[in-house]
Chain A
Amino acid sequence: GHGRGGMGEGVKRKEDKRFITGRGNYVDDIKKPGMLHCEIVRSPHAHARINEIDTSRAMEVDGVVAVLTAEDLAAHELATMPTLMDDTQDVLVNDKVKFQSQEVAAVIAEDRYVAKDGAEKVAVDYEVLDPVVTAEDALEADAPLIRDELDDQEDNHIFDWDVGDKEATDKVFEAADVTVSEQMEYQRLHPAPIETCGCVTDWDPGKDKITVHLTSQAPHAHRTLFSQVSGIPEHKVRIVSPDIGGGFGNKVPIYPGYVVAAAASVVLERPVKWMEERSENIQTTGFARDYDMTGELAATEDGIIKGVRTDVLANHGAYNAVAQPSKFPAGFFNIFTGSYDVEAAYGSLTAAFTNTAPGGVAYRCSFRVTEAVYLIERMVKVLAQELDMDPAEIRRRNFIQPEQFPYESATGWNYDSGDYEKALDKALEMADYDHYREEQRRRIENDADKLIGIGISSFTEVVGAGPGKSCDIAGIEMFDSADIRVNPTGNAVLRVGVQTQGQGHETTFAQIVAEELGMDVENITVEHGDTDTDPYGLGTYGSRSTPVAGAATAVAARKVRDKAKSIAANELEAAEEDIEWDRGSGEFHVAGAPDRSLTITEIAASAYMNHPGSEEPGLEAVNYYDPPEMTYPFGSYIVVVEVDRETGEVDFERFVAVDDCGNRINPMVIEGQIHGGLAQGIGTAMMEHVTYDENGNCTGGDFMNYLLPTANEIPNFETGYTVTPSPHHPIGAKGVGESPTVGSPPAIVNAVVDAMAHAGTTHVEMPMTPDRVWENLAEAGLERDPA
């Protein structure tokens, strides 16, 4: 930082003003002349044959303009759409519904109320079939076949995947002093951004061009996919992500509602708005997790971990529509050896179709890293208990050491940098660890009503997808981009290929430019989300913005700086190699003559008014950045809980989070990301669960049943940090947005388990609702009747 809003400064956010005054511009705020509203008719059944869809009564409703079914879409080859994982998803269904609330028909009307009236009048004749809602049941030999429309699909099995050296791992397990095993479910969650998904589609028959304002985390990728699905050439498709009310991975996939609204706009030649309601959002858009995992560790008596083994059953819902790089069917789950130097590891996974909504990768998961970190951090706790070792000490003995980086893991990752013990030590100190261990013992000795539990998670993330050789979305390599244009008066516009959904890019990306060009952060405007004007990028998810577009921004700024040097040389009548740039003052000066200097503002003027003959006029640069590696931020979280033996209620006594994301662009924004992610970690561990009953009814599908934490359930967090820069990143920064949600659930579960560990408890399933905790207390003989 240099006082102008560069790196490391807690610059207050440029985007705040419009949001605190109600002047944000979200999709549902958009109103266009002649705009129609779309309401989707959804299936009440999880699995049912459709005999007939009668739309005639809906068409009679005053104000209904059209009712679309699969047949209408089929005429435009839009009845189905490709998913990101080489599957095909129905946009509207007319043969067989495969999950409850699936899209069956769409009513387009003058008014959103009338559209709902119309939707109620669509009569669908269903023949109900047996549903199957868990991966385990779906893979039974006599399970009903869900995807009977696929020629080569004879059961509900999607794929098998494995990673690591099975033979070497088996050997390590056979030879080990100690092995432990635990089965754990990472329950189905939903990212549930407060703004749901929606769009306004606007076909312009004069230009043969469609403009779609979309709740999109990846507007450019969506443009390409829209073009491919619709057949409209890409230069005639404009996607605009306006302000987005939170994404959390929910707004990466393409949903049927978008396709229907686009088709309706083309057919009716009028703008069409589709904005889903909360229950539609939870019940039909991309869920998260739903991994049923078995974890195993092999170790010496001293607690040195020799091997990790895992086997997973993955529920992918009715379609394989997971939003992840195409060559990674289980995402980056193979980071499951965590922060530990492990000799051998092997993981296998089986994915199944079920009669539930599609999804899997979302909700700050960094492509299944949540599941991987949960697995390893839970297992380390299980091992510590088995060996009667302190869970901090066992981590210390197994950490990859600072000098081992770059470290190649047993499952093939190349960790960039880390100093794990430093972060753990800091967290232990902040949390007053020894005191709480003492207090825990005291309460057990006194047979107290409330038990203390301490949970640790020392996780390693993998974010910044990614190197084009291995990472692509639907074939497009996962680079990202920045385009900087400095104006004649010395201020600048930066356009990026990523798309903020609240993470503060409009501020933090300006800070990178301010740092690299010696400009004041106030003089830089950041734009994003409009595919007609912004450079192509892959969007924001997987905490990839800083690693990829942040890198592109620094590189583009450095290109501008190089040209600025040449202009400065011309102006100062010196040789270019004699021009030095001073990061502190932000000025360019002649070596040895600091008074012969120019600011970027002066140089910008020259670029337009007196450019050197050797250069083009103007001052701008573009960079498309293909990252050489991922970034691997890490952290240690310590959670102290008090468990009420009478009620099963869990209170957070302390919640300490030490994160290391390398060089920090804006500490204030990082802290906000950590707070939000930790709250989602608490939601994950304590409350959130998309549940289905045996008939396939989604029983956790609205905010009455899918519980988000309120201000009353969230404690104050104590955050700390260490700085271990990424050696390959232009500004040494790593991603961080998802770390807190990745890292915290195992710390919370470990804490609750820890409170009961003296009575033999090794695991408590999430969400750890009071009744579930009470059941576990009772199983351990720790429950206490109310006095």
Chain B
Amino acid sequence: MSETREITLTVNGTDHTIDVEPRKLLVHAIREDLDMTGTHIGCDTGNCGACTVLVDGEPLKSCLMFTAQADGSEVMTVEGMEDLPESDGDLHPLQEGFHEEHGLQCGYCTPGMIMSGKALLDENPDPSEEEIREAISGNLCRCTGYQNIVKSIEYAAEKLAAQPAADGGRII
């Protein structure tokens, strides 16, 4: 095995220091070194987006990035969604939206979809259907035909818009 180097990642708010080979893909580090297996692998060419995570707030396909490139970064995966303030200790509005609108079937693309949805809503809280479809066009789904995924993200956008401002305001 080739030499390893020490990498520090902040994943869902927790710091992790791991030894990885320079060639290790971020998706494998997340899944195998950190045991967060919500992030999935669906292809070997960067097309499917099942591995989508947020790296420093940007949606990235973690199969196209070496772990070493994420050294010092803040990474967010689907496992971190419930800890966000807008989740209020429960499911995040996006997660709730996917459940309410039947935006998932086998569930394999879902974590990546949710992360792409989060990246979109962070940038654009009130997206049009076209903007949603564009934002998830790097995420392949084989089960849903996308229509309910669009509705799920719309559901979340509406729910988030109805929440008080994120500056510490919480629904009681």
Contact = CB atoms under 8 A, between A and B. Distances in A.
B68 interface: no
A678 B45 CA distance: 25
B123 interface: no
B10 interface: no
Given A31-B35, A675-B145, A703-B43, A712 B134 contact: yes
Nearest to A245: B108
Nearest to B146: A711
**Would you list the 7 A-B pairs with minimal beta carbon distance, nearest first?**
A22-B38, A19-B107, A502-B106, A245-B108, A675-B145, A502-B105, A679-B145
A20 B105 contact: no
A676 B143 contact: yes
A21 B44 contact: no
A539 interface: no
Contacts, number: 185
Interface in B1-44: 1, 21, 23-24, 28, 31-32, 35-44
B140 to A, nearest CB: 5
B36 A278 contact: no
Interface size class of A (residues with CB under 8 A): 35 or more
Interface string B152-171: 00000000000000000000
B45 A702 contact: yes
A301 interface: no
A112 B106 CA distance: 25
Contacts of A192: 142
A126 B96 CA distance: 55
Interface size class of B (residues with CB under 8 A): 35 or more
A358 to B, nearest CB: 22
B84 to A, nearest CB: 13
Contacts of A62: 1
B107 A243 contact: yes
Contacts of B98: 16, 20
Interface string B91-132: 100010011101011111111001000000000000000001
| Interface of A: prevailing SS | loop
Interface string A257-289: 000000000000000000001110000000000
A134 B24 CA distance: 40
Residue of B28, B91, B104, B114 ringed by the most chain A CB atoms within 10 A: B104
26 contacts: A16-B104, A20-B98, A22-B38, A22-B39, A24-B108, A26-B37, A113-B1, A193-B142, A194-B108, A246-B142, A278-B45, A279-B44, A504-B105, A669-B102, A672-B102, A672-B148, A675-B145, A679-B144, A702-B43, A703-B45, A704-B47, A710-B137, A710-B140, A711-B146, A714-B146, A714-B147
Interface string A667-679: 0110111111111
Given A22-B36, A114-B1, A13 B102 contact: yes
A278 B43 contact: yes
Contacts of B108: 24, 26, 193-195, 245-246, 502
Given A113-B23, A194-B140, A679-B145, A20 B37 contact: no
B75 interface: no
Given A16-B98, A20-B91, A702-B45, A501 B147 contact: no
A16 B111 contact: no
Given A31-B35, A711-B149, 13 more contacts: A16-B98, A16-B99, A19-B111, A20-B91, A26-B108, A193-B108, A194-B108, A195-B108, A278-B45, A703-B140, A708-B142, A711-B133, A714-B145
Given A278-B43, A671-B102, A678 B145 contact: yes
B110 A711 contact: no
A111 B42 contact: no
Contacts of A196: 42
Contact of A277 (B31, B44, B91, B132): B44
Contact of B50 (A112, A194, A702): A194
A114 B100 CA distance: 43
Given A20-B114, A21-B79, A675-B145, A668 B140 contact: no
A277 B41 CA distance: 9
B158 to A, nearest CB: 18
Nearest to A669: B102
B95 A20 contact: yes
A674 B105 CA distance: 12
